[in-house]
Amino acid sequence: MTKAIRIHANGGPEVMRWEDVPTPEPGPGEALVRHEAVGLNYIDVYFRTGLYKAPLPATIGMEGSGTVLAVGSGVADIAPGDRVAYAGGPIGAYATERVIAADRLVKLPDAIDFQTGAAMMLQGLTAQYLLRRTFHVQPGQTILVHAAAGGVGLILCQWARHIGAHVIGVVSTADKADLARAHGADHVVIGHATLPADVKRITGGAMVPVVYDSVGKDTFMASLDCLAPFGMMVTYGNASGPVPPFDLGVLAAKGSLFITRPTLATYTAKRADLVAMADDLFSVVASGAVAIRVNQTFKLSDAAAAHTALEARQTTGSTVLLP
C-alpha cells in the first residue's frame, strides 16, 4: 500500500483525505516514482474545487520529484535509482508513490535537490515558455507581471531581469512588494485599482508590450488597458476566478491587441520541447540567475493547510509538500 491525498467530492480544502491506496504497478512505457517532494500549485485548487474537472475519487497534484523504483517494458531512458522530476498531467502527485509515463520525467541534475526540483518544475517551465515562446521578451522591454511575489511570479521577475527586461510587478501587500523588488522587479504596484494609470506613469505613457496575468477575472480589463498598441495579453491563470466571455471588438478598440490563453500542457506536449525547456530552466537555476524560493513546506498529509494558505494569499514564492 501507499498513501495519497484523495478527494471524493469537489469543495473546500476539507474534502482532501489522507488515505491508503494500493501501490500502482508501472505498465509499458511507465515508471513508478517514490516522491521525495511534491509541488503545490494553484491548478491543484482548480481541480479540488471542480473548476477543472477530474473523475472522482481523484488524487490531485501535477508536480513532484523523487526516485524511480521500477519501470515498465519499453522504458530505455529512465532506470530504477534515477533522481527525477516532472510537471503536468495527468493528476496524481499528492501520493507517496505514483506511476507516470516515463517520457514525462526529466533527470534532476545533481546540483538540484529534491525540494527545489519539486518546487521549480511546473512554475519554472511555465515562466520559461511565457518569457521565451508565448511572447519572446527582449532586453530593454518593460513587462507587466501580476502576482509578482507568487511561485510563477518570483521566477518571472528574476528570469526577465536576467534577459535584460524591466519588470513592473503587481502584488497585494507591502511585504510582497519588497520580495518582488528583491527578485528583480524594477517597479511594484500594490493593488490594481489604478493599474493602467500606474503603468502609464512608470512607462512615461508608452505602456507595455506584454502583460502576464494569472489573476484572471479581477484584473483582466485593467490588464488590457496597460498594453501598448499591438500588445500581447497573456491570460494564463484564474486565481480570482475565470475571465468571463468578452467581446473581441474590445481588442480592436484598445489598439489591435493580441490575446492568448496558454497552458504548460501544450508547450510541453512534445518530449523534445519538455527536455529543451527543462535544460533552459536548469541552466538559469544552476547559474544563480534564478533562485527557487521554497518559502513554505507542509506535510503532504496536511495538504489542506497548504491549500488554505495559498487561497488566502498567505504564501510567497513556491510551496512544497513533503511525503
Residue ranges in contact with ligand NDP by CB under 6 A:
41-43, 122-123, 126, 147, 149-153, 171-172, 176, 214-215, 218, 236-240, 262-264, 310-311, 313, 315
Cα(308)–Cα(14) distance, integer angstroms: 9
Query: Of 111 and 312, which CB lies nearer to ligand NDP in the complex structure?
Result: 312
Q: How far is the CB of 172 from ligand NDP (least distance, A)?
A: 3
Query: Of 78 and 125, which CB lies nearer to ligand NDP in the complex structure?
Result: 125
Q: Which residues share a beta bridge with 30?
A: 101
Cα(264)–Cα(71) distance, integer angstroms: 25
Query: Of 75 and 219, which CB lies nearer to ligand NDP in the complex structure?
Result: 219
Q: How far is the CB of 154 from ligand NDP (least distance, A)?
A: 8
Q: How far is the CB of 249 from ligand NDP (least distance, A)?
A: 25
Query: Of 106 and 264, which CB lies nearer to ligand NDP in the complex structure?
Result: 264
Q: How far is the CB of 89 from ligand NDP (least distance, A)?
A: 11
Query: Of 6 and 307, which CB lies nearer to ligand NDP in the complex structure?
Result: 307
Burial class of residue 317, CB neighbours in 10 A (0-12, 13-18, 19+): buried
Cα(190)–Cα(209) distance, integer angstroms: 21
Q: Name residue 117's amino acid.
A: G
Which residue blocks in the chain are alpha helix, DSSP H?
Answer: 42-49, 114-129, 151-163, 174-182, 195-202, 220-224, 249-253, 264-267, 271-286, 303-311
> Number of helices and strands (H, E) in the chain?
10, 15
- Residue 77 cell numbers, joined: 531512458
Q: How far is the CB of 131 from ligand NDP (least distance, A)?
A: 13
Query: Of 32 and 236, which CB lies nearer to ligand NDP in the complex structure?
Result: 236
Q: How far is the CB of 117 from ligand NDP (least distance, A)?
A: 16
The answer to whether the beta carbons of residues 144 and 185 sit under 8 Å apart is no
CA distances from 58 to 106, 127, 169, 266 (A): 24, 27, 35, 23
